[in-house]
Structure 1
Amino acid sequence: MIYTVTFNPSLDYIVRLDSLKLGAVNRVNYENVLPGGKGINVSIVLNNLGHKSTALGFVADFTGREIVERTVGYGVDCDFVTVAEGMSRINMKLKAEDETEINGMGPKITPDDIDALYQKLDKLGKGDILVIAGSVPSMLPGDMYQRIMGRLEGRGVDIAVDAERDLLVNVLQYHPFVIKPNNHELGAIFGVELNKREEVVPYAKKLQEKGARNVLVSMAGEGAVFVSETGEVVMSEAPKGTVVNSVGAGDSMVAGFIAGYLESDGNYATAFKMGVCTGSASAFSPDLATRPEVENLLASL
């Protein structure tokens, strides 16, 4: 079974305006409400590709109920911890001349809530896949990734991690199954600028030396790089297409990689190709990638 964790999910209220005038009444010409959060995105794309998963994390109040309802509407099983105090956040994404985001705070998560999440994670075992993605909100311990991975160590759970800087580096000791930094995040870890696929490889291998099994690096229009635990290095140009919305593209790459890995009985090259095409399919669409969109890109490579 596949599980995803989103620590601070949101309702994303997306609006478009011809122009944004501060201090005045502005009327939108487009609006949409979506469940937000990296783990939730992974679960939605996995479902679009034909793979069931369970979304875990924390929700609260009426916004939390709406997040669950909308996520279930995408065919995802939800098993969130319901928090008593506060409300799940609403993130507003304003698209006008410039793109502006206003993010809410999220609920107050107590030690009892954290224990409730641990109890759900304690059910995972050999053959399960867990995706931990995104930032850790201020109301949680900064080492939540480490606590979860330390708790699951030795149980045979394959863990995928999509996080930045210390959140990523500090869990390498637990040998995550796959990590997915982008080239800018990878460069920030080592204090270098990485713009070309060939430049990424030695630094991806450095993360393997620190404990990562497989390293998947997304590079937007430059494509992607994959360095496997077997020593295989695979690079890909970005598929051709017009970028409509890059939000969720990295999460989609993670979902595509997992789907490809499962469908090919563990063939890393196939998993990588599926990940690249799934990430691109989301970038080329106003919504998250669907199976037909991914297959069209796979046929073009």
Structure 2
Amino acid sequence: MIYTVTLSPTLDYVVSVDHFQTGAINRTQSEDVFPGGKGVNVSLVLNDLGYLTTAMGFIAGFTGAEIKRLLRVGGVEGNFIQVERGMSRINMKIRSDAETAINGQGPEITQEDIGTLFSRLRFLIDGDTIVLAGHIPPSLPSDMYEQILEFLKGRRLRVIVDAEKELLTGTLKYHPWLIKPNADELGDIFGVRIHSREEAVPYAAKLQNMGARNVLVSLGGDGAVLLTEQGEIFSSDALKGKVVNTVGAGDSMIAGFLAGYLDSDGDYEMAFKEGLCAGAAKAFNLTMTTKKEICYLMRTTSFDIQRKQKD
């Protein structure tokens, strides 16, 4: 079974406004509401690719109920913990001449709620996959991912972590199967600016030396690079197409990578290709990508994957 953990899932309220102005009444040209949060996005894409997942995390209030309902409509099984105080986040995204985002705070999560999460994580067994993705809400300990992995230590799980700075590096001692920083996140960890795949490789290698088994770095329009636990480096330009909305592209890349790995019985090059296609398919669309769009790119893309052995 594949489990995704999104500690603070959201309702993403996306509106388009012609020439948005602060301090004035603005009228929308279009409106959409989607369930959101990094792990939730991974679950939605994996479900469409034919892999059942259980989405976990904390929800509250009428917004939490709507998140759960929308996921159920999307075919995703939810095992969320209902908390008492506050409400699940609404993240508003205003598309206009420039994009503006207003993100909510989320509910207050108690120690008892955390205990409930751990009681549900007890049921993970050897061979399962767990995806820890996104930020930690203020009401949770900043080392929450470390606590989860410490609790699960000793089980043979496939662990995927998509997080920033210390939230990511703190998990490396548990040797996650895959981590997926983007170029900015990778640079922030080491206090540098990364402008190319070539510049990303030595810093990705440092994360491997710190404990990560596989490191997948997304660089937006500059493509992506993968360092595998076998010491291989795969590198590719970005796929060609009109970029519409990059929000969730990294989450889609994780889902595509995992599905490609499982579909091919552990072929990292196939996983890399499907990850590239899934991330691009999301960037080329306003909404989360679908299997049809990913498969189309897999069929029609002339991949130019550079492959070499790590020094």
Confirm or deny a common fold (TM above 0.5).
Answer: yes
Alignment of 1:76-87 (within 5 A): 76-87=76-87
Partner in structure 2 of residue 250 of structure 1? 250
TM-superposed deviation, 1:22:
2.7
TM-superposed deviation, 1:162:
0.3
Partner in structure 2 of residue 281 of structure 1? 281
Report the Cα distance in structure 1 between the residues aligned to 2:286 and 2:207, rounded to whole angstroms.
33
TM-superposed deviation, 1:267:
1.0
Report the Cα distance in structure 1 between the residues aligned to 2:50 and 2:87, rounded to whole angstroms.
32
Secondary structure at the aligned position of 2:12 is classed as: strand
Report the Cα distance in structure 1 between the residues aligned to 2:241 and 2:150, rounded to whole angstroms.
41
Secondary structure at the aligned position of 1:159 is classed as: strand
TM-superposed deviation, 1:19:
2.0
Secondary structure at the aligned position of 1:22 is classed as: coil
Report the Cα distance in structure 2 between the residues aligned to 1:158 and 1:268, rounded to whole angstroms.
14
TM-superposed deviation, 1:153:
1.3
Report the Cα distance in structure 1 between the residues aligned to 2:256 and 2:9, rounded to whole angstroms.
21
Report the Cα distance in structure 2 between the residues aligned to 1:242 and 1:15, rounded to whole angstroms.
20
1:260 pairs with 2:260? yes
Report the Cα distance in structure 2 between the residues aligned to 1:104 and 1:192, rounded to whole angstroms.
30
Alignment of 1:115-126 (within 5 A): 115-126=115-126
Partner in structure 1 of residue 113 of structure 2? 113
Deviations, residues 200-252 of structure 1 (Å, cap 9, x unaligned): 11111111110000000001011100000010111111111010000000000
Alignment of 1:64-83 (within 5 A): 64-83=64-83
Secondary structure at the aligned position of 1:29 is classed as: strand
Partner in structure 1 of residue 209 of structure 2? 209
TM-superposed deviation, 1:196:
1.4
TM-score, normalised on structure 2? Answer: 0.95
Secondary structure at the aligned position of 2:203 is classed as: helix
1:139 pairs with 2:139? yes
Report the Cα distance in structure 1 between the residues aligned to 2:104 and 2:128, rounded to whole angstroms.
32
Structure 1 residues not aligned, in runs of 5+:
none
RMSD between aligned alpha carbons?
A: 0.9
TM-superposed deviation, 1:21:
2.7
Structure 2 residues not aligned, in runs of 5+:
303-311
Report the Cα distance in structure 2 between the residues aligned to 1:232 and 1:284, rounded to whole angstroms.
29
Task: Flag the 1:22–1:195 CA change in 2: closer, same or farther, 3 A.
Answer: closer
Counterpart of 1:132, as a letter, is L
TM-superposed deviation, 1:131:
0.3
Report the Cα distance in structure 2 between the residues aligned to 1:24 and 1:191, rounded to whole angstroms.
40
TM-superposed deviation, 1:42:
0.3
Report the Cα distance in structure 1 between the residues aligned to 2:104 and 2:190, rounded to whole angstroms.
31
Find runs of 4+ consecutive structure 1 residues off by over 4 angstroms: none
Report the Cα distance in structure 2 between the residues aligned to 1:176 and 1:121, rounded to whole angstroms.
17
Percentage of pairs with the same residue: 55
TM-superposed deviation, 1:110:
0.4
Larger mean CA deviation between 291-300 and 226-235 belongs to 291-300
